[in-house]
A and B are shown apart, each in its own frame.
Chain A
Amino acid sequence: MILLLVGSDSYADNQEEISIKSAFMLKMTHFINWPEGSKVREENKSIFRLCLEHGHELSSTLTQWAKTGKIKNKTVEIKYISTVSATADSCDILYITKKKFLHDFVAHSKDIDILTISDLAGGASSGSIINFIKIDDKVRFEINLEKGENSGFKFSPRLLRLAKIVKGSQ
């Protein structure tokens, strides 16, 4: 359904990319297991927290989707944050599109059970666990496997198979 939104002009191209990334982000959750002790693994927690930077371009698509969709069998809650401190104990996925924010987060956040997904050139090697990239004009993603696994995430081979595995700072 998301893919239906795909257009042919530049706006449409942008929109399509947004949709694809939104869809990718949601689909990735099926191939990733959150670390032991994380809130996502707690069955009694019924909310899956998806944090976006305030005013992010994905927000409208994801908000729309979150009304009916579920992640890890939990209702999705879209949260908008503007500071790293606001993420503390508040996010299960943190979508980062700003390099500074990624740096700050990597430098200050101690929440290791937040799956960080960035859309930044060299995002994965900069400390994000997953990072969207474009290869042959197609949306693809890279995974900082070491970072993710050190944080306690487990990745499905089927996901890893499609990802570009990168190494980078912890």
Chain B
Amino acid sequence: MINILMVVFIAVIGFYHNFMNEHEFIKSKLLEEKILTAKIVGSYAASDIGFDNKKSAIVSLSYLESDESTINVHLYDEDGNYFISLYENKEIPDVGVVSAEKSIFKKNELQVIEPIKVGGELFGYILLQSSTRSYADDYKRNINQIISMFLVLVLIVIAIAGPLASIVTSPISELVKATKKVTRDNDYITRVEVKNKDEVGELVNAFNEMLLQIKIRDGERDQSDQLLRDSEEFLSLTLNNMIIGVITVSYDWKVKSYNRSAQKMFGYKESEVVGSLVLSLFADGQKIRLQKEIDFHHDSGHLGVLSGGLEMKGLKKDQTEFPVYMSVTSMRDPKTEETIFIVSIEDITNKKIQDEQLRRTQRMDALGNLTGGVAHDYNNMLGVILGYAELLSMNTGLPDKVKSYIKEIAHAANRASKLTKKLLAFTKRTSAESLAVNVNEVLINNKSMIEKTLTLKIKLEYFLDDNLWHVWLDAGDLEDAVVNLSINAMHAMEQGGSLTFTSQNLSLSEIESRALQLPAGEYVLLKVADTGQGMNEATRIRIFEPFFSTKADKGTGLGLSQVYGFVKRSNGEIKVYSEPGKGTHFDFYFPRYHAEHNNSGAILEEENIEQYSGTETILVVDDEPGLRKLADELLSYYGYSVTCVDCAESALEILTEERFDMLLSDVIMTGMDGYELADKVREKYPLMKVQLASGFSYNKSHTDSVDDLQNTMLQKPYRKIELLRRVRTLFDEG
């Protein structure tokens, strides 16, 4: 409808314009005609005026009588004076001074004044009065025509406007529809069908091309947006998966962002922290240190690392403190130009615990070395005492009383030897008696003994895994440890309670094992838990130290240190959990043993010592003169030919001159040690047997030969039969 009105409106304007043109045209045509008439008649009458002939002038003017539109015609002389009119009886119009050509349109009349010239000379003027009726008629006729045409046209327009408009507007409507679809659905795939090859068709083509270009550009933009999103997501993921807590802080030290690690550390959700002061995340005493960092930046305007690895105390949501390393860097936000601080927080709680454990381990190692050293010396002396006591007892001619004295000496020396053995058990050394052991078997075999130890007030419970893996350890040591723990439990539960032994298989992941300071892998876990009085932290951290005891005169202070030594020797770990009044748990972790083993423990029986005698030559090396001499006496007694030297260097020297079948050497000596000597001897004299003896744990870098020698090591103080059996066995191996 608007289209039709528009067309009609345009038509009206067009017709009006046309009408006005027509009107002007008719008017000018009429004027032109009358001017021409006036000129012609004027020229006819020129001579009449010129020669003052009014009669002739009338004749000249009468030419116009036949023209119906002529109202009158008047002549004037060259000076503008009235000369004559066609119709004298009619009024002469007042046209002012007649002096120039002029035309005046009145209501129904046109007055034209034209000068009359001949050969360029003015003869006079003619005033022609014409009726404009014909013009009016033309005018009316034109109006009628125009109106008729207009009406016809309007009818035509109305008749064809719809279809015509639809031809034009249909593709435009399609375009509008497509545009709306594009705007609403971002659908740049839609296309408008090109129906015609006219201008509208070109417009539609251009529109389709535009959509294509937008689609291409959109695609490119989407791609780069996606890359950007991926990158942001990746960065966000990276940030949230970092172990350290990352907190971004604005210039006024308010938290802007807070990664997932920080959330875990502090216990606050991001929404609880963002916008609050970062100082609230630190313990009171630490805030001054943090403030110093702020002041430093404010004073210096320094950008970059402000502080690195500052040890602070963080404050969790539950108000507990925890140790952290804090690093602060500052940077300029590229968008806002504001200074941003990045606070990196590393939770060092575990590190602190590990440090403490390491410190304790080092202390235990130091104690072990000290204890081992003392025990070594005592062992040597006890070896001499025992050895000579044994030699004396072989003398059959002695009075019985003396024999009984010798027996007492040997007994006391044996007891002393056991004590030093306990001391040595604390130190780490590889036990020659380690075997593949099922912990359950040890527990079951010793159940009655443990029950006796615990008395009836204490209930003993076993929760054992039937499919428990084997472990590689000294079963005797394990028995000792179990008994030791039982004794301690009994003391801790004087009013009664229960002691529970639990065994289970355990696979430790990297993370789990790290917390336990063990390599990842498979373990047998033995839990020993009592319901006793428990202990405080100060006690707990010292219980494995030798001679540390809470039982005053009831204990030696060596029980748990012996247990500790045994666990370390077995490449295991022991953890203690205890609180006053809540009992104590000991968790033993022993590495699983895979290979098949002959589990039959060698049991020393009374043997015929004579079978170990021989005639081979033996070079004895020991820096302890008493032991040197004892070895010489014992071996010589059973037929061996013995030469003794006091150091490795002397041994090597004598070997250049003399051949021996065996080297029997102490390990710990001043100068070259037993291992080095053994290596050199094996290299130079490969047929020579080598046997080492030691009362002391000694960590040597592990080589095959060292392992071999360690496995066959004679433990000092050795008993006569142990020495002879070992020597003989070595010779007999071939």
Binding site for B on A (CB under 8 A): 1, 3-4, 20, 23-24, 27, 29-31, 72-73, 138-141, 156, 158-159, 161-162
Given known A-B contacts A30-B121, A31-B118, A1 and B47 have beta carbons under 8 A apart:
no
Cβ contact within 8 Å between B48 and A162: yes
Residues of A within 8 A of B59 (CB): 161
Cβ contact within 8 Å between A162 and B119: no
Q: Could you say which of B44, B79, B121 contacts A27, with CB atoms under 8 Å apart?
A: B121
Residues of A within 8 A of B118 (CB): 27, 30-31, 158
Nearest opposing residue in chain A for B123, CB measure: A27
Residues of B within 8 A of A159 (CB): 47
Closest-CB distance, B80 to chain A (whole angstroms): 12
Cβ contact within 8 Å between B52 and A20: yes
Nearest opposing residue in chain B for A29, CB measure: B119
Q: How far is the CA of A106 from the CA of B722 in the complex (A)?
A: 199
Cβ contact within 8 Å between A161 and B79: no
Kindly state whether residue B617 has any CB partner on chain A within 8 Å.
no
Cβ contact within 8 Å between B47 and A138: no
Nearest opposing residue in chain B for A72, CB measure: B119
Cβ contact within 8 Å between A158 and B79: no
Q: How far is the CA of A158 from the CA of B53 in the complex (A)?
A: 12
Given known A-B contacts A1-B79, A24-B51, A27-B51, A158 and B121 have beta carbons under 8 A apart:
no
Cβ contact within 8 Å between A158 and B52: no
Nearest opposing residue in chain B for A27, CB measure: B50
Interface pairs A-B: 6 shortest CB-CB: A30-B119, A158-B47, A30-B118, A27-B50, A162-B51, A162-B53
Q: Which of B44-83 contact A (CB under 8 A)?
A: 44, 46-48, 50-53, 56, 59, 77, 79
Kindly state whether residue B43 has any CB partner on chain A within 8 Å.
yes
Binding site for A on B (CB under 8 A): 43-44, 46-48, 50-53, 56, 59, 77, 79, 118-121, 123
Q: How far is the CA of A20 from the CA of B53 in the complex (A)?
A: 12
Return 19 A-B CB contacts under 8 Å, by A number: A3-B77, A3-B79, A24-B51, A27-B118, A27-B123, A30-B118, A30-B119, A31-B47, A138-B52, A156-B47, A158-B43, A158-B47, A161-B47, A161-B56, A161-B59, A162-B47, A162-B48, A162-B51, A162-B56
Q: How far is the CA of A161 from the CA of B53 in the complex (A)?
A: 10
Closest-CB distance, B56 to chain A (whole angstroms): 5
Q: How far is the CA of A51 from the CA of B315 in the complex (A)?
A: 143
Closest-CB distance, B602 to chain A (whole angstroms): 166
Residues of B within 8 A of A29 (CB): 119
Residues of B within 8 A of A1 (CB): 79
Residues of B within 8 A of A30 (CB): 50, 118-119, 121
Closest-CB distance, A122 to chain B (whole angstroms): 21
Residues of B within 8 A of A4 (CB): 79
Nearest opposing residue in chain B for A156, CB measure: B47
Tally of contacts, chain A with chain B, CB under 8 A: 44
Closest-CB distance, B84 to chain A (whole angstroms): 14
Closest-CB distance, A19 to chain B (whole angstroms): 11
Which of B51, B59, B121, B123: most chain A Cβ within 10 A?
B51
Nearest opposing residue in chain B for A31, CB measure: B47
Which of A1, A24, A159, A162: most chain B Cβ within 10 A?
A162
Residues of A within 8 A of B56 (CB): 161-162
Closest-CB distance, A123 to chain B (whole angstroms): 17
Nearest opposing residue in chain B for A69, CB measure: B121
Closest-CB distance, B389 to chain A (whole angstroms): 181
Nearest opposing residue in chain A for B120, CB measure: A73
Closest-CB distance, B248 to chain A (whole angstroms): 107
Q: How far is the CA of A138 from the CA of B47 in the complex (A)?
A: 15
Q: How far is the CA of A48 from the CA of B206 in the complex (A)?
A: 81
Closest-CB distance, B60 to chain A (whole angstroms): 8
Q: How far is the CA of A4 from the CA of B44 in the complex (A)?
A: 24
Q: How far is the CA of A1 from the CA of B235 in the complex (A)?
A: 114
Residues of B within 8 A of A20 (CB): 52
Nearest opposing residue in chain A for B44, CB measure: A158
Q: How far is the CA of A23 from the CA of B118 in the complex (A)?
A: 14
Q: How far is the CA of A159 from the CA of B49 in the complex (A)?
A: 11
Residues of A within 8 A of B121 (CB): 27, 30
Q: Could you say which of A73, A138, A158 contacts B46, with CB atoms under 8 Å apart?
A: A158
Residues of B within 8 A of A138 (CB): 52-53
Closest-CB distance, B57 to chain A (whole angstroms): 10
Residues of B within 8 A of A3 (CB): 77, 79
Residues of B within 8 A of A23 (CB): 50
Residues of A within 8 A of B120 (CB): 73
Q: How far is the CA of A138 from the CA of B79 in the complex (A)?
A: 20
Residues of B within 8 A of A73 (CB): 120
Residues of B within 8 A of A72 (CB): 119
Q: How far is the CA of A23 from the CA of B120 in the complex (A)?
A: 15
Q: How far is the CA of A34 from the CA of B50 in the complex (A)?
A: 20
Residues of A within 8 A of B51 (CB): 24, 27, 140-141, 162
Q: How far is the CA of A39 from the CA of B51 in the complex (A)?
A: 26
Residues of B within 8 A of A140 (CB): 51, 53
Q: How far is the CA of A31 from the CA of B48 in the complex (A)?
A: 12
Q: How far is the CA of A138 from the CA of B59 in the complex (A)?
A: 18
| Given A27-B51, A141-B51, 19 additional A-B pairs, CB 8 A | A1-B79, A3-B77, A24-B50, A24-B51, A27-B47, A27-B118, A27-B121, A30-B118, A30-B121, A31-B118, A72-B119, A138-B52, A139-B52, A159-B47, A161-B59, A162-B47, A162-B48, A162-B51, A162-B53
Q: How far is the CA of A116 from the CA of B185 in the complex (A)?
A: 107
Q: How far is the CA of A5 from the CA of B328 in the complex (A)?
A: 126
Residues of B within 8 A of A156 (CB): 47
Nearest opposing residue in chain B for A24, CB measure: B51
Nearest opposing residue in chain B for A1, CB measure: B79
Q: How far is the CA of A159 from the CA of B53 in the complex (A)?
A: 11
Closest-CB distance, B116 to chain A (whole angstroms): 11
Nearest opposing residue in chain A for B119, CB measure: A30
Q: How far is the CA of A20 from the CA of B50 in the complex (A)?
A: 10
Q: How far is the CA of A161 from the CA of B50 in the complex (A)?
A: 13
Q: How far is the CA of A3 from the CA of B56 in the complex (A)?
A: 19
Closest-CB distance, B45 to chain A (whole angstroms): 8
Q: How far is the CA of A56 from the CA of B357 in the complex (A)?
A: 165
Q: How far is the CA of A4 from the CA of B80 in the complex (A)?
A: 13
Q: How far is the CA of A24 from the CA of B48 in the complex (A)?
A: 11
Closest-CB distance, A33 to chain B (whole angstroms): 10
Residues of B within 8 A of A161 (CB): 47, 56, 59
Residues of B within 8 A of A31 (CB): 47, 118
Nearest opposing residue in chain A for B56, CB measure: A162
Nearest opposing residue in chain B for A158, CB measure: B47
Q: How far is the CA of A41 from the CA of B121 in the complex (A)?
A: 18
Q: How far is the CA of A62 from the CA of B553 in the complex (A)?
A: 181
Closest-CB distance, A75 to chain B (whole angstroms): 15
Closest-CB distance, A124 to chain B (whole angstroms): 16
Q: How far is the CA of A139 from the CA of B43 in the complex (A)?
A: 21
Residues of B within 8 A of A162 (CB): 47-48, 51, 53, 56
Q: How far is the CA of A162 from the CA of B79 in the complex (A)?
A: 21
Residues of B within 8 A of A139 (CB): 52
Residues of B within 8 A of A141 (CB): 51
Nearest opposing residue in chain A for B54, CB measure: A138
Nearest opposing residue in chain A for B81, CB measure: A3
Nearest opposing residue in chain B for A2, CB measure: B78
Q: How far is the CA of A24 from the CA of B121 in the complex (A)?
A: 13
Q: How far is the CA of A3 from the CA of B44 in the complex (A)?
A: 21
Q: How far is the CA of A72 from the CA of B52 in the complex (A)?
A: 22
Nearest opposing residue in chain A for B46, CB measure: A158
Q: How far is the CA of A148 from the CA of B47 in the complex (A)?
A: 19
Which of A24, A27, A159: most chain B Cβ within 10 A?
A27
Closest-CB distance, A121 to chain B (whole angstroms): 20
Q: How far is the CA of A158 from the CA of B59 in the complex (A)?
A: 11
Q: How far is the CA of A73 from the CA of B43 in the complex (A)?
A: 19
Residues of A within 8 A of B119 (CB): 29-30, 72
Closest-CB distance, B78 to chain A (whole angstroms): 8
